[in-house]
Amino acid sequence: MRFKKALVTTLCAIALSYTSVSSASDFKLPDLGTSAIQVLPIEKEQALGEVMMMQIRSSSPLVQDPVLNEYLSSLGNKLVASANDVRFPFKFFWINNKAINAFAFYGGHVGVHTGLIAQSDNESQLASVIGHEIAHVTQRHLARRIQSAQDNSALTIAGMITGILATVVAPDAGMAILAANSTQAALSQLTHSRKAEQEADRFGMQTLQRAGYDPYAASEFLTKLAAQVRFQNKPPAFLLTHPLPDSRVSDVRLRAQQYPKKYVPSSADFLYAKSRVIARYHMDSQDAQAYFENTLRTTSDLDKSQYEYGLAISFLDQKKYDRAEEIINSLLKKQPNNLFYLDVFTDIKIGQKQFEPALKVLEQKHKLRPNNQVITLNLANTAIKAKKYDKAEQLLKIFLLEKQNHVLAKQLLTETYELSKNKAAYHESRASLLSHYGAFMKAADEVQKALNFIEKEDEIKKLRLKALLAKYRNMQKELAKL
């Protein structure tokens, strides 16, 4: 699915976070302006995670791609199901960045750079890094740092969070900020200690093996990073926050030898996701076309569908719809329910303005998988393009009952109301979207506009909107505490 390019690659213009409208009155932040937090219970850790996610949305190019998000969430949750000491649900998200990096922070948030999957030789390598980051959360390494910093009068919790965020997202920039401030204590908070890395390696490998992946992939990946350190002036971003002493690679290799060696093939979804990232996020469409055409000529792989899929995307993005359609139709004949293929098929039909064929196919798939995000959002998006606004509204409202905070679904619903000229619903939906980024005062302004379009006799709707207005203002007060 493609919307405007800026929306697909980043939705961070306004910033901050939003849990849900229904729980707005429960949105309470811990006191972050002091270093005197004696303990960090789970609810505070989750609140800190939301604060950090606010800043990520404001400053980082988040990838809002239903197909890639579906894959990452599936992989991440498979690993979480095999992890120790899981205390809360995890949330996985992509950042459009070619650097090899992944990071985790309070409350189970795990960010993965697109460069990580692009540079992973197989799915087990990708899973080894994500499993390692999950272990940092479950073992509460960042939470322990806040507690250990409480006696450092020169370092406030709020300041430390800002530094941690800068470092995990852009490690070299974060380190530069801290060096400029000459705050060695803060610097020590931003890089994982050797002890924490050893613990994350140990628990991460256990998780990797239990989830059915190759535990030897962890040492393979670290060896790959170590080689880059030797041949590059600038180390990979991952190593700026995850120290790699010489002993660590050998320790991980020895730990892997506790498990029997077995061949674990990468899933087809990993291969498609990697091709999608290369085609859509790491190369321009013409370079991607050349890359996949060359790979198809030279590869010895028996199954070439992943490269054909990448080539189809490169044609689609160049608006060479007929060539893209030829490839996708051939792939769909073999796997008619493949979400990666269906997503590109939909974009081709929208590009050709052939909405009815896309609607027919997606409606059939929707009956089989009624609330799948790839199928539902593609179907709703096609309905909007076909000016079937009632259908799009119904699909999106049902979808949002289950996934209240889904950004693309909210964006599509707001667009639906705007195009159907339902002004009251448009302003209320826009308020909900703004609140997702923490722009609560702007959200309150939108609710005020929505009230102007409510019929005088509709007292129930007026009361509901006024209550929502009060909630947004209360949430703004909570953020003002920072």
Residues with catalytic roles = 133, 201
What secondary structure does DSSP assign to 166-208, as a single string? Answer: HHHHSHHHHHHHHHHHT-HHHHHHHSPPHHHHHHHHHHHHHHH
Contact 270, 123 (CB under 8 A): yes
Closest CA to 187 of 198, 177, 200: 177
The CA angle 343-345-347, to the nearest 5 degrees, is: 70
What secondary structure does DSSP assign to 120-162, as a single string? Answer: -SSHHHHHHHHHHHHHHHHTTHHHHHHHHTTT-TT--HHHHHH
In whole angstroms, what is the distance from residue 94 CA to residue 362 CA?
26
In whole angstroms, what is the distance from residue 173 CA to residue 160 CA?
15
In whole angstroms, what is the distance from residue 405 CA to residue 359 CA?
25
Q: Give the HSE-up count for residue 31: Cα atoms under 13 Å, Cβ half-sphere.
A: 8
Q: Which residues pair with 63 in a beta bridge?
A: 94
| Residues contacting residue 210 through CB under 8 Å, at least 6 positions apart | 82
Which residue has 């972050």 as its token pair? Answer: 32
> What are the distances in angstroms from CA 424 to CA 23, 221, 437, 452?
22, 53, 21, 8
Question: Residue 255: which H helix or E strand, with range?
Answer: helix 246-256
In whole angstroms, what is the distance from residue 327 CA to residue 315 CA?
10
> What are the distances in angstroms from CA 96 to CA 68, 100, 271, 387, 462?
12, 11, 18, 32, 41
Closest CA to 183 of 159, 165, 151: 159
Task: Count Cβ atoms below 10 Å from residue 345 Cβ, excluding itself.
Answer: 25
In whole angstroms, what is the distance from residue 479 CA to residue 86 CA?
28
User: Residue 129: what residue type?
Assistant: V
> What are the distances in angstroms from CA 205 to CA 121, 124, 198?
18, 11, 11
> DSSP secondary-structure letter at 60?
S
Closest CA to 22 of 315, 318, 387, 432: 432
User: Residue 389: what residue type?
Assistant: Y
